Structure 1
Amino acid sequence: MDLGIQGKVALVMASSRGLGRAMAISLAKEGVKVAVTGRNLEDLQQSVELIKAAGGEAFPLQWDLSDIAKVDGLVSQVEQTLGPIDILINNTGGPPPTPAAGQDPALWQKSFNEMVLSLIAITDRVLPGMRQRKWGRVITSTTSGAIAPIKNLAISNTLRAALLAWSKTLATEVASDGITVNIIMPGRVATDRLRQLDEARAKREGISYEEVVKASLQQIPMGRYGDPKEYGDAATFLASQNASFITGTIMRIDGGQIQAI
């Protein structure tokens, strides 16, 4: 199937590893020129090599999402190197596991800047060009905890829930300009981040890692963790021309885990 995005330019945030990397590779396989971003240059280079091995074109850019003042300059580097940005994948790393009560306000503020305000600033930077060209895709990766809060991930649950309301509101504002705005939401997808969370839960509850995984699988109707490739391919579909009438929605890639309607 021709997804109609060959030659488009994508900016994929936090794509040096995990789900971000999977989305970048999937887009590149469809002929999209991809800017990959992250803090660690070694991880970024690995993403670039994987994209090239898949026959794609990538531009690595070291990017600290906490530094919002640099958004304009970094986006300009992408535009100068690859061209105007057609597809924006908003994605961030996760905050440390915490309960809701008793957290330092400074941690809330830092996490808000990195996980919410930075993505809004990046989106605002690329939207004028998308509107002028009458085509664009804004896809924001969140968490199932935004609609079914996950124990001990209070900061992630709270801040990513804010992105749902922002995305839905924005979708109505730019739809007539040929721009779609959607949320992509993972369940339990097999990444390093998920393993770290499972290991932390095992330590916190005094049980083995294997017991944590077994209990998690019992909550997933498909009986397995997701493959990052499956997540990446779902994002690529939403970025495609084929998904041009899909906006303001949430796509769950969770194996049926999330029980909320």
Structure 2
Amino acid sequence: MDLGISGKVALVTGGSAGIGLAAAKSLAREGCDVCVSARDPERLADAVVELQQFGGVVHAVLADVEDPTAAQRVVEETRDVLGPVDILVANAGGPPTGRSDEVDLKDWDVAVQRNLLGTVRLIQAVLPEMRSRGWGRVVTVTSSSVREAIDGLALSNAMRPAVAGIVRTLAREVGGDGVLVNNVLPGPIDTERLRGMSGGDDVVAARGRAVPVGRVGQAEEVGDVIAFLASERASYVNGVSMLVDGGHSRVIA
């Protein structure tokens, strides 16, 4: 299936590893020119090498979305090198883990800056040009905690639904301008974060057996869903929070 986005400019934050890198690869494979942004310079350089195999133009910007000045800088540099951003994938690492009585105000501030305001600033930086051109895609990456709280992840349980609320609101506000805004909710995906919280291979495998499809997901599977939501083929999908969890969630709606 041709997703109809060849030649589009995509910006992927948190794009040096995990789901962010997988999304960047899926978009590059579809013919997008891609800018990836992340905090680790070595990983970012490695990501550029991986993305260059798809033949498009690749650029990298070293930045931390917790920095209030980062979003505008990343968007402007992407525009200067590749052109205006057509597709934004707003992705960041998860907030600190812990129960409500274990996280302190510093942890809350990290979560707000990284997972809420970082996303808001990125969206605000790309929306004006998307609306003026009459075409744009914004895909935020959050968590299945939007649908049901996850024990030990108090900050994620608070921040992720806030982003989903922003997505639903913006979808109604800018859909008429040709800008579609959607949210992806990964469930158990084999990433460094999952392994850091769960333990070794045996524990990850055990978690997979609790998923109806019998395994944890791969980052590439989330990346492909993101690419679809960013595409022309998803032209009537707007304001959704889409689970990518192998059927793990028991929530009906």
Question: TM-score, normalised to structure 2's length?
Answer: 0.96
Structure 2 counterpart of 1:31 = 31
Amino acid at match of 1:224: R
Structure 1 counterpart of 2:221 = 230
Structure 1 counterpart of 2:236 = 245
Alignment map for 1:63-82 (pairs within 5 Å): 63-82=63-82
> 1:102 deviation in Å?
4.3
SS of the counterpart of 2:2? Answer: coil
- What is the distance in 2 between the residues matched to 1:192 and 1:219? 19
SS of the counterpart of 1:247? Answer: coil
Structure 1 counterpart of 2:209 = 218
Structure 2 counterpart of 1:141 = 141
Structure 2 counterpart of 1:202 = none
- What is the distance in 2 between the residues matched to 1:141 and 1:124? 16
> 1:105 deviation in Å?
1.3
The RMSD of aligned alpha carbons is: 1.2
* Stretch of structure 1 that moved more, 67-76 or 168-177: 67-76
Cα deviation 1:137-166 (Å, max 9, x = unaligned): 010000111211111111112111111111
> 1:252 deviation in Å?
1.3
- What is the distance in 2 between the residues matched to 1:254 and 1:243? 20
> 1:88 deviation in Å?
0.4
Structure 2 counterpart of 1:117 = 117
> 1:19 deviation in Å?
0.3
Cα deviation 1:105-163 (Å, max 9, x = unaligned): 12201210111111101101110000000000010000111211111111112111111
| Unaligned runs of at least 5 residues, structure 2 | none
Amino acid at match of 1:50: E
Structure 1 counterpart of 2:22 = 22
> 1:258 deviation in Å?
0.9
SS of the counterpart of 2:69? Answer: helix
> 1:257 deviation in Å?
0.4
Amino acid at match of 1:183: N
The number of equivalent residue pairs is 252
Structure 1 counterpart of 2:90 = 90
- What is the distance in 2 between the residues matched to 1:211 and 1:168? 38
Amino acid at match of 1:247: N
Structure 2 counterpart of 1:179 = 179
Structure 2 counterpart of 1:164 = 164
* Stretch of structure 1 that moved more, 66-75 or 36-45: 66-75
Alignment map for 1:42-81 (pairs within 5 Å): 42-81=42-81
SS of the counterpart of 1:65? Answer: coil
- What is the distance in 2 between the residues matched to 1:210 and 1:125? 40
Amino acid at match of 2:42: E
| Unaligned runs of at least 5 residues, structure 1 | 200-208
> 1:228 deviation in Å?
1.3
* Structure 1 residue ranges (4+ consecutive) displaced by more than 4 angstroms after TM superposition: none
Amino acid at match of 1:253: V
* Stretch of structure 1 that moved more, 147-156 or 15-24: 147-156
Question: TM-score, normalised to structure 1's length?
Answer: 0.93
